[in-house]
Amino acid sequence: MRDRIYYGIKPLVPARLRLGVRGWVTRRKRERFRGIWPILPGSERPPKEWPGWPGNKKFAFMLTHDVEGQAGVEKCLQLMEVEKRWGFRSSFNFIPEGEYRVSKALRDELTANGFEVGVHDLNHDGKLYRSREGFARKAARINGYLKEWGAVGFRSGFMFHNLDWLLDLDIQYDLSTFDTDPFEPQPDGAGTIFPFWKKGSDGRGYVEMPYTLAQDSSLFLLMGERSPGIWLQKAAWVAEHGGMALLNLHPDYVAFPGESSSFRTFPVSLYEEFLEKIRERNGESMWHGLPREMAAWYKETCVTGGPAQAAGWKATAPGAAPDAGRTKNGALKPKRVAVVLYAYYLLDQRPRREAEELVRLGMEVEVISLREDASVPRHEMIDGVHVYRAPVRSSRSKSKLSYVLRYGAFFLHSMFFLSTRGLKSRYDMVHVHNMPDFLVFSALVPRLQGSKIILDMHDPMPELFESLYGLRQDDWSVRLLKFIERASFAFADMVMTPNKAFKEVFVSRGARTDKIEIVMNSPQEEIFDGKGVPCGERKAETPRRFSMMYHGLLVERHGLDLAVQAMAQLRARLSGLRLCLYGEQTDYMEEIIVLIKKLGLEEVVEFSGFKSQKEIAQIISTVDLGLIPNRLNEFTRINFPTRIFEYLAMNKPVLMTRTPGVRDYFAEDEILYFDVEKADDLARKIEWAYEHPSELRGLVERGRKVYAKYRWQAEGARFAGLVNNLIDNKA
């Protein structure tokens, strides 16, 4: 009755007065409830036969948002970008019949970026549970919105809940409860920091996921907290006990830079501080996923294939055979994915991290790659990925025929592998990495079986071959490569590529823009861990030393001769100058060594050979400047070297050629550019960097803000979202 009166008069009471009274009551209650809030003793006990989190992660971490008004709707994309910057994904829950209308465009934008959309109540007026008959009528309308939005999750308004009635909804999970929150209008908490299964009399059910971190409105608006300390304290306790840290934050209450302060908002910096410290303190020890991913994992692991199986729960899709899509014990089979890679798996970071991301999503992943030599096993398990190596090796030969023969041998091996294994047990998806583009056709049999096909375009082959062999655009082999590219795009269901310039080139050749998604290459943060001393902050040295480095492929298009010429100009003017080159020995490097000796630069320029990624990161931490002196050709014009991010990740500035592919991301005051193929200008920019350490430090700080947007946590989450959407929508 009390709640009915409150929600009846609520619209008549000014918001400031209403919030003031609630805050006064909450602060008075806080001391009384300190024994059960924010931590409830006993809630840390895991369920019987608890299997632990996927990948042996220490605990689970999830972010959810309830959007209460038009102001919140308008802030959703800003909040999405904040979370992407820190490498997180979340679920946005919208009110279907409230004071606003959520557009399909907004929902699509969120899901395209790897986020999730859920339904939040129906009208958000506190009346959803007034009567059983009324709830049943509203449930039918809610189910309509769930279907229309492609949503599988629900949360009631004001955290009211009746878990039995919620069985009327066509949902995989519900978020309407909490472990402990005596300040809510219906304060009967679930008493656990773990998800649990709510089963109906007909055997159907859903996963209930209580929020375990206090709501933002309670902390910042009612209690007046000025830091995320309570969130961090509770999250650490949840992590210690292996539970689920689930947060509900409202976009409506977040104030972004430039926004006027209000009694109904708190600064977004508090949320960013929380995300930063969660990432910093927990790193790879937490399982971060979307609620729908949590629900799918829990159902498959703990219900259909786990402890609850003994209770007789079993369901099949309408019209499906009793055991379709299930293992012998009744559990759902994991998605099967094949990855085709003409490279050495352990040395190619993009395919490796994408494969590991698929494993993190609970998929069974098989990679077909090159074999380094006979001492390397034909098949092994690496971080959950099955790696099968073909009896083919890579080559740096400049012979076109050599490329064709090796590509052809690997193509035939991959096609046989995919066809035979796919016929035995169908793949849900085949992920093919170029080069070459035509490898995508090795997935012909899986495609005929209904598998989804992704073509990952690391490089555009026509431009790369023009660069390698000095070909003209009208050369017959370049025209053939463009034809193969178009055919490959048409065969694939989705094309991924690592930067904007590549996408623009593909679209200019007739590719559908809606078929191409950008997933950028980013450094492996466990290796490029940001521990390099920021430029200008090293202790003063006598005599002064200013060291630079280049690492990567040692070929003519990467312009090392320009760097050597610049060093010759600067040697007499700048003391302590040094340049080290790292990479595999090549014919071009032999020419550079001859040039170094000719100019008498042996004490200034040094070639140190190939180094591992870990060694490179350590070396970067000791230098003052990273060089990327590319010459300009059709390929380098549109390429985006990952080395830029590697230097910035380690707090180091980058000096590189001014090219369109890089300027798509970095402005003039975010990276140090020099004019294309101008050794004189390269020398001037090195001298400027030498003489202006404080300005250089500011350049790095601005560049790192760009890098922060494209860290692998964000790009990996985007990749996972794209894959999930592609497979889930395969019908």
Judging by beta carbons within 10 Å of its beta carbon (0-12, 13-18, 19+), is residue 510 exposed, middle or buried? exposed
400 CA to centre of own chain: 37
Is the whole-model pTM more than 0.85? Answer: no
What three-state secondary structure class fits 662? Answer: helix
The whole-number pLDDT of residue 423 equals: 93
| CATH 3.40.50.2000 given to domain 336-522 | yes
- Closest Cα to residue 88, out of 376, 236, 367, 287? 287
The whole-number pLDDT of residue 326 equals: 40
- Closest Cα to residue 97, out of 135, 159, 141, 129? 141
**Distance (Å, whole) CA 424 – CA 422:** 5
CATH class of 546-709: alpha beta
Structure tokens that stand for 679 in this block: 């050794």
Q: What is the mean pLDDT of each run of 10 residues along the chain (731 residues)?
A: 49 63 80 89 90 92 96 96 93 93 94 94 94 95 95 96 96 96 91 95 92 96 93 96 97 92 89 94 90 93 58 28 38 78 93 90 91 89 91 72 87 97 94 96 97 97 89 91 96 96 95 94 86 58 84 95 97 94 94 96 95 93 96 94 96 96 95 96 97 94 92 85 78 36
Distance between first and last Cα of the chain: 48
> What superfamily in CATH does domain 2-304 come from?
Glycoside hydrolase/deacetylase (3.20.20.370)
Please provide residue 310's backbone torsions phi and psi, each rounded to the nearest 5 degrees. Answer: -65, -20
* CATH 3.20.20.370 domain span(s) along the chain: 2-304
Using only C-alpha atoms, the chain has a radius of gyration, in whole angstroms, of 29
The whole-number pLDDT of residue 696 equals: 94
Judging by beta carbons within 10 Å of its beta carbon (0-12, 13-18, 19+), is residue 530 exposed, middle or buried? middle
Structure tokens that stand for 183 in this block: 């300040």
- Closest Cα to residue 64, out of 230, 199, 212, 191? 212
The whole-number pLDDT of residue 25 equals: 78
- Closest Cα to residue 146, out of 292, 330, 356? 292
Structure tokens that stand for 261 in this block: 């302060």
DSSP H helix total and E strand total for the chain: 23, 25
Query: What is the biggest distance separating any 2 CA atoms in the chain, rounded to whole angstroms?
Result: 93
* CATH 3.40.50.2000 domain span(s) along the chain: 336-522, 546-709
Residue type, 3: D
Structure tokens that stand for 307 in this block: 């402890």
313, 199 Cβ separation under 8 angstroms: yes
**Distance (Å, whole) CA 76 – CA 69:** 11
The whole-number pLDDT of residue 30 equals: 87
